[in-house]
Amino acid sequence: MVLAHAVETRWQLYRLLAEPARLRLLALAAEEELSLSELAELLDESQPNVSRHAAPLRQAGLLAERRHGTRTFVRLSEGAALDPVVNDALASGRGLCEREGSLAKIVEIVEKRDLRTREFFSEAGEHGGASEVSPEIPAYLSALSVLLPERELAIDAGTGNGALLDALSPLFRRVIAIDRSEAQLARARERAERRGYQNVRFLRGELDSEELVGSAGAGADVVVASRMLHHAVRPRTAVEQLAALLRPGGSLLVIDYERHADEAFREREADVWNGFEPAELEGHARAAGLGQIRVSRLPHGLVSATTGGHLGWQVLSATRLPDKT
């Protein structure tokens, strides 16, 4: 039995689930991983009250939690719904949430996670460190490109100020640079014009936009998301969208921070997440159907002078598996 380790007798489980507030909380956590503050908003309760209701559910093994800095996120524990009593409680809680409208508000609540991020990047100021690189680097990469067999198309997801174009444009015949912020795209275009990159197409939109998917055609050889994932309201969905842009055999590179506790940095940079554990990135890649998954650390000396250089940087690499015939 899933809950045998946490609830000694069945009557204790019935008593635990007899409280409507716990039923509603459990149902919401089954729909989406939510922070305690988000649950408080959905349930129209104070955060201390939500924490008080969540604690016994967590102790009983019904809720799993993880911390991002000062925030605590909870979700329904894996396998909890297999218990018939819990499954019935979820149905009852879902009914309560549907009647009060909280279930329908989950999407709105989750989308608010990156509201400050959007505002932050809509400003024309400098984000992401200096815009210059050693002038020889693009020339060296262009020379090295003859050694790479597959270099038709690369996608720079969340291009920001276009810094990654100095690595991608010299290597690939075509590059698509996409970002949600017109202010950021303007800076990336200015960089490309200054460098003389004529093989870059700039798009404004989301990762699953029809224009981007259509422009990718049969798929990209490489999709790179550099320090973009910690701004995604649903990181797993973002990785799935990135993977969908690859051709069979194409490679995904996700560069992002390791899990950290620097709340001041997160607030200042309008980040949604405090980086990621390697196991989280690996799990997202597996859920996206990718193979050859690897997470490795980047040398501190290479990033120490950048914004966020005091944090650990890591790279997820994975490959889209050949389509089954």
Check whether residue 183 and residue 300 sit in a common domain: yes
Check whether residue 173 and residue 44 sit in a common domain: no
Q: Which CATH number covers residue 46? A: 1.10.10.10
Q: Is residue 4 part of a domain?
A: no
Q: Which residues contact 310 (CB under 8 A, 6 or more apart)?
A: 262, 304
Check whether residue 228 and residue 202 sit in a common domain: yes
Summarised one tens digit per residue, pLDDT across range 185-204 is 999 999 999 999 999 999 99
Integer distance in angstroms from the first to the last C-alpha of the chain? 40
Q: Is residue 111 part of a domain?
A: no
For residue 223, give the H/E element and its range: strand 220-226
Q: Is 323 a residue whose pLDDT tops 90?
A: no
Q: Is residue 3 part of a domain?
A: no
pLDDT (0 to 100) of residue 2: 47
Domain span at residue 238? 118-320
- In 41-186, where do the E strands start and end? 63-68, 71-76, 153-157, 174-179
Stretch among 100-104, 305-309, 318-322 having the lowest mean pLDDT: 305-309
Residue at 1: amino acid letter: M
From 104, 128, 163, give the residue that closes a domain: 104
pLDDT (0 to 100) of residue 134: 63
Q: Is residue 142 part of a domain?
A: yes
The CA angle 209-34-127, to the nearest 5 degrees, is: 55
- 322 falls in which pLDDT band (50, 70, 90)? confident
Q: Which residues contact 3 (CB under 8 A, 6 or more apart)?
A: 13, 60, 61, 62, 80, 83, 86
CA distance 68 to 89: 28
Q: Is residue 112 part of a domain?
A: no
Rank 125-134, 159-168, 198-207 by mean pLDDT and report only the highest.
198-207
> Whole-model pTM?
0.80
Q: Which CATH number covers residue 158? A: 3.40.50.150
From 59, 74, 104, give the residue that closes a domain: 104
Summarised one tens digit per residue, pLDDT across range 70-115 is 899 999 999 999 999 999 999 999 999 999 999 999 999 998 888 8
pLDDT (0 to 100) of residue 302: 85
What domain count does the chain have?
A: 2
Stretch among 154-158, 271-275, 321-325 having the lowest mean pLDDT: 321-325
Q: Is residue 306 part of a domain?
A: yes
Cβ(28)–Cβ(40) below 8 Å: no
Q: Is 304 a residue whose pLDDT tops 50?
A: yes
pLDDT (0 to 100) of residue 4: 42
